[in-house]
A and B are shown apart, each in its own frame.
Chain A
């Protein structure tokens, strides 16, 4: 199992060294990966069908509760088969669709990475592991949306998608950690076993909020839906695979997976019902205004995701069966429609539904595939979509309370729009007479047209034998979400009842809508007038204002003037220190131990102050340097007074050397320019004086603190005994702390090399600029 999950990651890494070889040769060979995984997961069907989930445990970081725990139950198996099955077809399809593309190796690397992370996501039992895979799907999706990286729109869409899903992921992580912390276990199965503990906890609402944020952003629920239409910038096989069949269902998967853990409360139910309901109506309504085929499909995908969230929100066993059926229904017909769209785009060069017509004359098999997919999406009897829609209506009708009428109405309305959208994408391009410009179009390579047709045929096959697929795959999946007591087999025919009537109404109204209403640009532009209110625009505005804020911040805070930086740092330090000093319990300065001042010290101090004054105020560079050296010599004398002969010698030497260097190197510079006006000087003076005062105050405070001398005494006592030296300062430097001194010498040598090379450096005239 571990190998099955990691195989994709390994393959994607192998593309780094072998990518070039791969691009020229066997592009199709990599499809063996998803196909073999598909067969591997198929082999688990009998086990899962018997009702026994399979667990795999590989220790990873056991001390932190992060283990490679995989849990294969009905839900995981349904998703795994979707991921690998549709993955196989997409891998095959893309090898022809992107034939000769310069980045084909990169494409397959991202695709394998995505497949591995998606498999890991649905199989993980450990929520932290789940989160890691969750983020990996976001990242691989980012790369795949931005696959055409020379297109700025493509890059922008990728960024928006990453920002939305990544932001949601961050909140999800907080939610997952909270869940693990509160329930004491990071395993979903264990959490489900004592779900009451989480549900009754005071922070249950917060957990829900965080988990919903993750699920809704990933599954493009209103108001976070806008990244998905943008994600259609990706190559069409990607749109089919990631952004309709698998990745966007990760949020739905998460909700389904957490249904036993968090579900059942009013908060859970009403939030999902409202968000799912709004999403499905809003985007189904939007889908009928689009003229771009992929736009239509994108919005109808969002609507389908809304339906799934909505069904999980109802939360009855019936509705969860409906959800698992609809996951499969939607994946089959939507992937087929996307792949069909890809072929149309590939062969005719347009995806504009108002221009496309009559392609059945040149691409008959594809037309049949499109028709079947559209019929499945419409829910015609004998297609799998019919079963799905029936179950949805049944679930809404049987939902408790007065709510059922509202829910049913919402579901019917959404399905009417979806039917229209499906017809637009699957039938409209093939119907009517062939325009002149498409006369040269011909049926592409089999690798392109077989996958979508196969998916459509599967839709019909499952539609004819619903009981079989239900028992094999879908009932176990629903069983993972809830305890099913009695399982009614999926049936084609339920007899004449309200559900059938509603299905008929949906079909009739949808077909009528398709008959009457033709897609047009005008309607689309009419809709764009409301764009200013859409969440996407709000997001963009937020995005722009964040950029504006950071530009403003950079320009004001990082304006490139050293003195402004320093000024801010010093003012901040003053405020911080002043605050600390003012809020202290009362400053006690004890001057009892202070020694008296002699006349020498006073005179030296006076000279020092004079030198300081001169160096600050003079306009001559040489005077300033000389005055600074006077200050240095005064300090040197202070060291002499206070028992530090070594310091005095060093200070004297260094001061002299500095002045010599200064004069030698800089004496030819012009005098100081007086840049600052008086008010600036006064401001700087005040700040500098304040800082000086605070430092002096701190110095005084330190002096009134008691001193500890253990370390000094150790050095004093042992200088001769251990190190055979009588000058303690020297002994410390060369013996006790000898390594420090050695590294100091290294630093000085580096500085010396720097000085020497700067002096010797001769720039050519061209390099001066």
Chain B
């Protein structure tokens, strides 16, 4: 099963990187999201995966009696997802602004190199 996750992670990274290379701003944004998902899975894998044993202590017990999934990667990923959402929402609104101003989704239209500077 780890193999499947590793392959999926590689695919997410590849798709994310490919989308980052596109000129469209929306695609760039989707690329960032895919890349973020890939990174989350990588962190998830680093802690090893455990099936059906969430890190929640039994109702009756005070400590774990059985094996349980590593809670640290989960805490990290939770933070990453939420912060990622902050970035995405800001980027989406920013993108909208840019579109309203320059009426284009093309990253190259943002380039206004000042000739005298070069």
Contacts and interface: CB of A to CB of B under 8 A. Distances in A.
Given A643-B53, A661-B92, A676-B23, A740 B8 contact: no
Interface string A629-641: 0011001001101
Interface in B81-108: 81-90, 92-97, 99, 101, 105-108
Contacts of A628: 30, 33-34
B11 A609 contact: yes
A562 B10 CA distance: 23
Contact of B21 (A566, A732, A759): A566
A642 B74 CA distance: 11
Interface residues of A, number: 100
Given A666-B95, A700-B6, A709-B70, A675 B24 contact: yes
A567 interface: yes
Nearest to B79: A744
Contact of B13 (A567, A673, A692, A744): A692
Interface string B23-48: 11011101001100110111011111
Contact of A643 (B4, B14, B50, B78): B50
A424 interface: no
Interface string A571-596: 00000000000000000000100111
A563 B34 contact: no
B4 A601 contact: yes
Contact of A551 (B13, B92, B118): B118
Nearest to B16: A688
Given A691-B13, A711-B72, A696 B7 contact: yes
Given A641-B51, A707-B48, A759-B93, A647 B17 contact: no
Given A616-B19, A628-B33, A595 B52 contact: no
A563 B107 contact: yes
Contacts of A748: 82-83, 85-86
Interface residues of B, number: 89
A715 B47 CA distance: 14
Given A642-B50, A696-B6, A712-B71, A755 B89 contact: yes
A662 B106 contact: no
Nearest to B5: A638
A685 interface: yes
Given A666-B92, A688-B14, A740 B79 contact: yes
A751 B51 contact: no
B4 A602 contact: yes
A14 interface: no
Interface in A630-668: 631-632, 635, 638-639, 641-647, 650-651, 654, 657-658, 661-662, 665-666
Nearest to A621: B26
Contacts of A768: 101
Interface in A586-626: 591, 594-598, 601-602, 605, 608-609, 612, 615-616, 621, 624-625
B87 A751 contact: yes
A715 B72 contact: yes
Given A644-B69, A666-B95, A696-B6, A721 B62 contact: yes
A615 B78 contact: no
B55 A729 contact: yes
A170 to B, nearest CB: 28
Contact of B78 (A647, A672, A700, A702): A647
A763 interface: yes
A538 interface: no
B101 A763 contact: yes
A748 B57 CA distance: 30
B interface SS class: helix
A716 B63 contact: yes
A646 B56 CA distance: 10
A133 B14 CA distance: 57
Nearest to A749: B86
A692 B11 contact: yes
Contacts of B106: 673, 675
B55 to A, nearest CB: 4
A536 to B, nearest CB: 27
Which of B34, B44, B84, B85 has most chain A Cβ within 10 Å? B85
A676 B75 contact: no
Given A669-B26, A675-B24, A751-B89, A727 B69 contact: no
A733 B1 contact: no
Contacts of B41: 635, 638
A190 interface: no
Contacts of B26: 621, 624-625, 666, 669, 672
Contacts of A719: 57
Nearest to B53: A643
Contacts of A693: 10, 14
A670 interface: yes
B99 A650 contact: no
Interface in A719-766: 719-721, 726-729, 732-733, 737, 740-741, 744, 747-748, 751-752, 754-755, 758-759, 761, 763
Closest 8 CB pairs of A and B: A692-B14, A696-B10, A643-B69, A751-B86, A688-B18, A692-B10, A688-B17, A728-B55
21 contacts: A563-B20, A594-B3, A595-B49, A597-B4, A631-B12, A644-B77, A675-B24, A688-B18, A688-B21, A693-B10, A695-B38, A720-B63, A726-B59, A728-B57, A732-B75, A744-B83, A751-B86, A758-B90, A758-B93, A758-B94, A763-B101
Interface of B: 1-24, 26-28, 30, 33-34, 37-38, 40-42, 44-59, 62-64, 68-72, 74-75, 77-79, 81-90, 92-97, 99, 101, 105-108, 111, 113, 118
Given A625-B30, A758-B97, 8 more contacts: A628-B34, A642-B44, A673-B105, A688-B18, A699-B10, A729-B75, A744-B83, A748-B86
